[in-house]
Amino acid sequence: MALLQDTRLLLRKVKDLRCLTPRRNRVKEKWATTRAKYPPTSLALQHFDATYGVELGKLWPSVRVALLSERKYGALLNNYYHGAALEDFEAQGCRDFISDRDTEGRVFFFIISTGQPCTEQESDVAGAEESSGVSMKKSDIDGQRLSPLQLSPNIKCVVFPRGDITRFKPARPDVCGLLGYYLMDAASVLPCLALDVQEGHSVLDLCAAPGGKTLALLQTQSIRFLCANDVSVSRTFRLRRVLHSYVPTQFLTDQTLRITSFDGSKWGEIERNTFDRVLVDVPCTTDRHSLTEDDNNIFNKMRTSERRRLPQLQLELLLAGIQAACPGGEILYSTCTLSQIQNLRVVEQAVQLAQENHGISLQVVDLRPLTHMFRKTFHFTPDLHLGEMVIPHLAANFGPIYMCKLRRLT
């Protein structure tokens, strides 16, 4: 009798425990037996341990812990919203990290050349490096200013303080049905700021869906014409839905916005030397997603060849973006991976091939002034020789975001 009671008690406890497990984390027995021995998330972790352990060295253990922990969001404020979103957030202890930035600091410039003659001053620069056949010159010259970065005063993104992992509530519509804010990784706003969109610019967003960065670009309210493209038709629908949930229809006319679903890598064949600014936010191994979600995971064994082809696709997209920009125009390459093969190597190859195959000379624009401004909000990789990267950190769990900006000289 006592044994029966004990068994019943035990069964009840097991049932109670089951209720504590969120539904999405429960696994049905019959599925558990057919589950992959190595789920994609484990394969991703193995792969990252092997590569980032080497590439990031002693930074990797803390980045790893952060990547496996809950990520932090920012709320991109919608200027078209009728309401006091910023004041409401400030009352909750949030701050707009863009206006609350570090404004003092040094000025740098950084040039990558592809066989172009360089000035005496450039050739004197110490620290010349050779990598993948592209000659790199990195300089750190105080007091010299190469077109300073003008941050749009209209992009606002609020975050909770460092170490505070409070979640944002879902945005609610105003009287016109527009939402007050868009939740995204706050570090994803940096490529949009770095793109430095000016009044009257025409902008191409080559891989735009689901549209977080497109929306941030539109918040500048200075774009004359925006073309938002994504190869995926379903994701382009999502992008359109996002834009219509935030921007009044009178600003989304055919004269100001074009949404397309082309293969971006072929853009150079369609439209060359056209845009003042081009954002190339490429598909990548999306490291955080790959470590935390088995669904739609690029480390799924069935997607191995797709994953291996990523650097080539990224290179083709960046080259197409470079061709789409006008001479003097600027191109921002970004990813959400820590991988050097998908980041620096792609940029190095693109710079070289743009010169060799298309006669386009490029300059790498120094983004250190930007990282300097936002160093109290994000953790950046120190001493990256090409581009800048936000690395996840437990106290500021944003990123990873890699970005590199190129300027067309010809």
Ligand X SMILES: C[S@@+](CC[C@H](N)C(=O)[O-])C[C@H]1O[C@@H](n2cnc3c(N)ncnc32)[C@H](O)[C@@H]1O
End-to-end CA distance of the chain: 89
Q: Is residue 400 reached through a cis peptide bond, with omega within 30 degrees of 0 on the bond before it?
A: yes
Binding segment toward ligand X, per CB under 6 A, in 10-18, 49-57, 226-234, 397-405: 226-234
319 binds ligand X per the rule CB under 6 A:
no
208 binds ligand X per the rule CB under 6 A:
yes
Determine the size of the site formed for ligand X (CB under 6 A).
Answer: 19
Is the dihedral angle over the CA atoms 146, 205, 198, 378 positive or is it negative?
A: negative
Q: How far is it, in rounded angstroms, from Cα 362 to Cα 319?
A: 11
Based on CB atoms, which residue is closest to ligand X, 40 or 283?
283
Q: How far is the CB of 17 from ligand X (least distance, A)?
A: 38
Q: How far is the CB of 383 from ligand X (least distance, A)?
A: 26
Q: How far is the CB of 316 from ligand X (least distance, A)?
A: 8
Distances (CA, A) of 108 to 44, 102, 118, 139, 303: 36, 16, 17, 7, 41
Q: How far is it, in rounded angstroms, from Cα 302 to Cα 323?
A: 33
Based on CB atoms, which residue is closest to ligand X, 43 or 215?
215
Based on CB atoms, which residue is closest to ligand X, 264 or 329?
264
Binding segment toward ligand X, per CB under 6 A, in 169-177, 202-210, 304-312, 361-369: 202-210
Report DSSP letters for 92-128, one per residue.
Answer: TT-EETTTS---------EEEESS----HHHHH-S--
For residues 248 to 287, the per-residue mask of contacts with ligand X, x marking binding by CB under 6 A and - elsewhere, is: ---------------xxx---------------x-x----
Based on CB atoms, which residue is closest to ligand X, 97 or 267?
267
- Considering only residues 283 through 302, tell me which ones interact with ligand X, judged by CB under 6 A: 283
Picking from 369, 312, 373, 381, the residue whose alpha carbon sits closest to that of residue 342 is: 312
Considering only 155, 159, 223, 231, the residue that binds ligand X (CB under 6 A) is 231
Q: How far is it, in rounded angstroms, from Cα 19 to Cα 9?
A: 16
Q: How far is it, in rounded angstroms, from Cα 210 to Cα 212?
A: 6
Catalytic residue among 94, 192, 336, 404: 336
Based on CB atoms, which residue is closest to ligand X, 188 or 397?
188
Give per-residue burial for 79-102: e unless 16+ CB within 10 Å, then b.
Answer: ebbebebbeebeeeebbbbbeebe
Asked about 336 being catalytic, the answer comes back as yes
Helix (H, G, I), strand (E, B) or coil at 300: coil
Q: What is the dihedral of CA 390, 208, 45, 291, to 10 degrees?
A: 100
Strands (E), 56-179: 74-77, 95-96, 110-113, 129-131, 134-138, 157-159
75 binds ligand X per the rule CB under 6 A:
no
Q: How far is the CB of 331 from ligand X (least distance, A)?
A: 14
Considering only 47, 235, 240, 345, the residue that binds ligand X (CB under 6 A) is 235
210 binds ligand X per the rule CB under 6 A:
yes
Q: How far is the CB of 327 from ligand X (least distance, A)?
A: 24
Q: How far is the CB of 164 from ligand X (least distance, A)?
A: 24
Based on CB atoms, which residue is closest to ligand X, 118 or 353?
353
Q: How far is the CB of 235 from ligand X (least distance, A)?
A: 5
171 binds ligand X per the rule CB under 6 A:
no
Distance of CA 115 to the CA centre of its chain: 30
Considering only 201, 213, 393, 408, the residue that binds ligand X (CB under 6 A) is 213
Is the dihedral angle over the CA atoms 312, 318, 321, 327 positive or is it negative?
A: negative
Q: Which residues are identified as catalytic? A: 336
Binding interface with ligand X (CB under 6 A): 188, 206-213, 229-232, 235, 263-265, 281, 283
